[in-house]
Amino acid sequence: MPISMYQATVPVFDRNLNNLAAILAKAAAWAEARKIDPAVLLASRLAPNMFALSRQLHIACDFAKGCCARLAGVEVPKYEDNEASFADFQARIAKTRQFINTLTAAQIDGSEERPINVKAGARELSFKGLPYLVNYALPNFYFHYTTAYAILRHNGLDLSKPDFIGAV
């Protein structure tokens, strides 16, 4: 049986956002136990020319909600990007998960050929639904999710592959 566009989006993003929330909870507890200001971690980056942890978290949520909304043919929710704490980011992740879980298989399945237009900086990108999902949205989501994980790991948080992948 072939995988549906719905199966490749909402459950995938939801699972990984849940894993990201668990990683952030672990980071918050770790920072508190070590008397590390969470703002220091949220401002951390792997390289000077990379986005900080806070921006990585913004973008991971944006790709999850944006991808699902576009494939469902509904308006992408706009967030203010004003989160300043782990609790704020937990709320953003929860809000994103709540939104994507309002979308149904009936809305997303069959979107393989749906025209998708995305503004990326000054560029306007045009895709069909399936290439948008597999060649743009999922790789970008995983890049920012992975980078958030790597920033926390780099700063000393004890994370391992099961934290990233979650329960199987």
**Domain positions in the chain:** 10-165
Please state the separation of Cα 5 from the chain's center in Å.
18
pLDDT of residue 1: 59
Q: What is the pLDDT of residue 88?
A: 98
Check residue 2 and give its pLDDT. 80
CB-CB contact of 149 with 5 (8 Å) = no
Q: What's the pLDDT score for residue 3?
A: 86
Q: Residue 168: what pLDDT?
A: 75
pLDDT digits (tens, 9 = 90+) for 130-146: 999 999 999 999 999 99
Residues with Cβ < 8 Å from 91, sequence gap 6 or more?
83
**43 touches 86 (CB < 8 A):** no
Residue type, 118: V
Interatomic CA distance for residues 96 and 106, integer angstroms:
20
In the block, tokens 């948080």 appear at 157
From first to last of its 168 residues, what are the pLDDT tens digits of the chain?
A: 588 999 999 999 999 999 999 999 999 999 999 999 999 999 999 999 999 999 999 999 999 999 999 999 999 999 999 999 999 999 999 999 999 999 999 999 999 999 999 998 899 999 999 999 999 999 999 999 999 999 999 999 999 999 999 987
pTM over the 0.85 mark:
yes
CATH number, domain 10-165: 1.20.120.450
